[in-house]
Amino acid sequence: MRFAAALLLLFLLAGCEQWFPPKKWEESITRATDAWNKREYTKAAELCAVALQQAMGARDPAKVMPALECLAEATWLEGKPLKANVALAQVQAEFPTDFAAWAGRHRLRNNDAVALLEAGRKADAIAAFEAALDANVDSPAHSSNDYRARMVIVTNLGRLGQPEPEGPLGVRLSTEILTELRQRLLRYEQQTPLMLQGMGEALVPIAEIVRQRGDPREAEELLAIAKERREADVESLGANQLVCSKFTIRLLAFESCMREVVKP
């Protein structure tokens, strides 16, 4: 496993200038913080990768997960988010229980899927989104227990499913997922509408898929529900409805948000 961590570092640093990496996790994060504050995101990402390597080598999940967050966000700011793809897969494989317990697990997987899409790997992106949606079924780690995050993932899948409404994704969204949304609406609309946050946005692409599959009347009904739920979200959440988390790793402070697929 230590070899795998070293291999990850070599993958991330391939082609970079030679430099002397720090010897301890704490030093790696401190130096990453300095680079981050100077907006030297490539260097920050390299140092976050070193911190991740060190934490994985020490088998210390309390340091692995923050280092992964550091790497994932730094590579987004660098403009090369796919560089964190290997690291994410490796952490999930080597620290599955810790990853499943991490509050940011859905955001990390969602953003990895967006990175795959932006790299032109649509099929891989869809598979990654669906894996994020379905992972840890019948467990507290399932996305149904972080509903706003789940709705971001469903929204992203909906936007990817629109161009092919009769494809497997379009069919799943307009049947299985739509049934789930209707059942949740029925359960929570009157008593606890806050449990429906994010549903309005998710219903918009699903309504379009339903329309393209031959049911314009149901599509209009869904759009009316979507409008109502979106207005409720503005009232409860405000204009900025991004799903974000704030982190402080030693002196490194940053915010990471769930990325969205561009509307078709």
Give residue-wise pLDDT tens across range 69-97: 999 999 999 999 999 999 999 999 999 99
Closest CA to 110 of 68, 156, 69, 79: 156
**196 and 71, same structural domain?**
no
Residue 204's domain spans which residues?
103-264
Picking from 57, 81, 102, the residue at the C-terminal end of a domain is: 102
**170 and 77, same structural domain?**
no
Residues in the chain: 264
Picking from 33, 67, 102, the residue at the C-terminal end of a domain is: 102
**254 and 177, same structural domain?**
yes
Give residue-wise pLDDT tens across range 87-139: 999 999 999 999 999 999 999 999 999 999 999 999 999 999 999 999 999 99
Q: Which helix (H) or strand (E) holds 35?
A: helix 25-37
Picking from 54, 80, 102, the residue at the C-terminal end of a domain is: 102
Specify the residue for token string 């704030």. 246
**140 and 22, same structural domain?**
no
Give residue-wise pLDDT tens across range 35-45: 999 999 999 99
Count how many domains the chain has. 2
Give residue-wise pLDDT tens across range 192-210: 888 999 999 999 999 999 9
